[in-house]
Copies of this chain bind each other. A is one copy, B any other.
Amino acid sequence: MTSKQKLDIARQLSKLGVDIIEAGFPVASPDDFEAVKAIAEQVGNEVHEDGYVPVICGLSRTRENDLKRAWDAVKGAKRPRVHTFIATSEIHMQYKLRMTPDEVVESAVNAVRYLKSLGCDDIEFSPEDAGRSDPEFIYRILSAVVEAGATTLNIPDTTGWNLPSEFAGLIANIKANTKGAENVVISTHCQNDLGLSTANSLAGAYAGARQVECTINGIGERAGNASLEEVVMAIALRGDDQLGGLWTGVRPVHISPSSKMVMEYSGMPVQPHKAIVGANAFAHASGIHQDGMLKNPGTYEIMSPETIGLQRSGGDVGVVMGKLSGRNALDSRLKELGYELEDAALTDVFKRFKDLADKKKVVADEDLIALVNDEASQGDFMRWNLKDIQVVCGSAGLPTAAVRLEDAENDGEVVVATSIGTGPVDAAYKAIDSIVGLKVELMDYSMASVTEGIDALANTRVVVKPKGESLVENAQGSLRERTFTGTAASEDVVVASARAYLSALNKIIALGSGSGRAAKETTKTTTSLV
């Protein structure tokens, strides 16, 4: 994601009313640092009318350089926090850290002391892979960090190994056996490898945890994290009755727009049968006839779609945008949907909106979001711009593409190329390749219609990888291949495909040129955004 996209999401999380926004891993790259800093300075200072302002948190290993960068990134917020972690399970200490338990405790305590010395008073500590760690060792390290000044103890089931009763026991035991636990907040962080992250989070909260780490749509490493929407709605619906009166400050009516924004920006779709936010989660979306036999939606619905900010189809859909809508109307509708555009970007989106409105009678919110995402995912530096593309294809002959690209690094020089291919997209990509000259592999290609109707926009997403090794390290110390994602929306699938591909190539070029302005590897950075 671009910094702009991360900022949009942070602003949406603030609307949602989450207590803490874990905004990123600042040491990872200058981009990550700047994104967290911008969120701290902007969203971390936008105090709501009721006095609420989210804590902005940066993630950090226990190394001094990491900690310093994390603190520098968040300290501009009204309520800054640093979250530091080190692994405590046998397998992690032995194979990943190559440290003894004593060294691990020392490193954790030093990290907390160092943060205090920097002026950071809101300190969260996690014993990574707590779910598979020796409980006695966890009590020891947690007691030590509390004594050093940690104020939140987060308990990660890093591999999604725990069952709910087991995880509840871990939380209860930590509360009972950690010196000073009564003065700090215990937190849960549950991964979803066995599909139990929501249940584990609820069990942990019932056992005494008062912070739940989760992500929108449940995205995250591997099988993801606990889903904010599932945890929040389970507590909202059953907290009084089944969870001893637990509650959260989250405003569920912003769940659906938040889910859509994260889906668009991260490129991580949710399945149709995803709880709460999936396309089929409410009966009305899966073709159930509203005026049919069932007069009471409560027979199969335990909450109404409106609760989470989703309009029941056929009902009041609010403002309808069309060809007569002006620039201001577009701007205010986008703001309602959570998207704040700068002037130049708004001009671009408005132009494309008008083109679209000429072809479609009603432009839906989903169309607007697709256009904004197309704009937002382009990055700041685009060397190559698609001027024209023409394709001939079909079953009868050789798919052939001609493209005209404009080169921003050479005074807008226009270059033309043609190619054949196995299909129209292959032909177009080969023609683009012959101009741009980068060697990449296509890792993934997908497309979906944005709304119903054959005249709908097609949202296209490609993931490419530069040929040859290009590895980046994540917070957990593992290496992964650097990939680049491009997305685009158009009524023409071939145009959308070409734009998406160019967007990904331009990101590689921006990074390669050393400016790093637009380049972001797709290592699912949103994971840590909630």
Chain A contact residues, CB within 8 Å of chain B? 91-92, 95-96, 129, 158-161, 163-166, 192-196, 198-200, 202-203, 218-224, 227, 230, 233-234, 237-238, 242-243, 268-276, 278, 280-283, 286-289, 292-296, 298-302, 359, 386-397, 399, 401-402, 421-426, 429-430, 441-449, 452-456, 458, 471, 473, 476-481, 483, 490-495, 497, 523
Contact = CB atoms under 8 A, between A and B. Distances in A.
Nearest to A429: B454
Closest 3 CB pairs of A and B: A199-B199, A292-B479, A195-B230
A63 to B, nearest CB: 15
A387 B288 CA distance: 37
B271 A274 contact: yes
A491 to B, nearest CB: 4
A202 B275 CA distance: 18
Contacts of A276: 193-195, 223
Nearest to A295: B95
A221 B286 contact: yes
Nearest to A289: B479
A479 B289 CA distance: 5
Contacts of A458: 423, 425, 445
Contact of A289 (B430, B449, B480): B480
Contacts of A219: 273
27 contacts: A96-B294, A158-B300, A163-B202, A164-B203, A192-B275, A194-B230, A194-B237, A195-B276, A219-B273, A221-B280, A222-B282, A223-B274, A268-B271, A268-B273, A287-B483, A288-B478, A288-B480, A294-B477, A300-B478, A386-B395, A390-B395, A391-B424, A394-B495, A399-B492, A442-B456, A443-B452, A446-B449
Identical subunits present = 2
A282 to B, nearest CB: 7
A282 B391 CA distance: 39
A191 to B, nearest CB: 9
A281 B193 contact: yes
Given A158-B300, A424-B492, A493-B497, 19 more contacts: A96-B293, A160-B302, A195-B218, A195-B227, A221-B283, A221-B300, A222-B286, A270-B271, A288-B479, A294-B478, A388-B396, A392-B392, A421-B455, A424-B493, A443-B452, A444-B448, A445-B448, A446-B446, A447-B447
Nearest to A283: B222
A376 B483 CA distance: 35
A129 to B, nearest CB: 8
A394 B491 CA distance: 10
A457 to B, nearest CB: 9
Contacts of A478: 283, 288-289, 292-294, 300
A459 to B, nearest CB: 9
Given A95-B299, A386-B395, A423-B493, A477 B293 contact: yes
A445 B493 CA distance: 11
Interface centre among A196, A233, A497 (most CB of B within 10 A): A196
Nearest to A523: B287
Contact of A388 (B238, B275, B394, B424): B394
A494 B424 contact: yes
Nearest to A443: B452
B164 A199 contact: yes
Contacts of A203: 164
B455 A273 contact: no
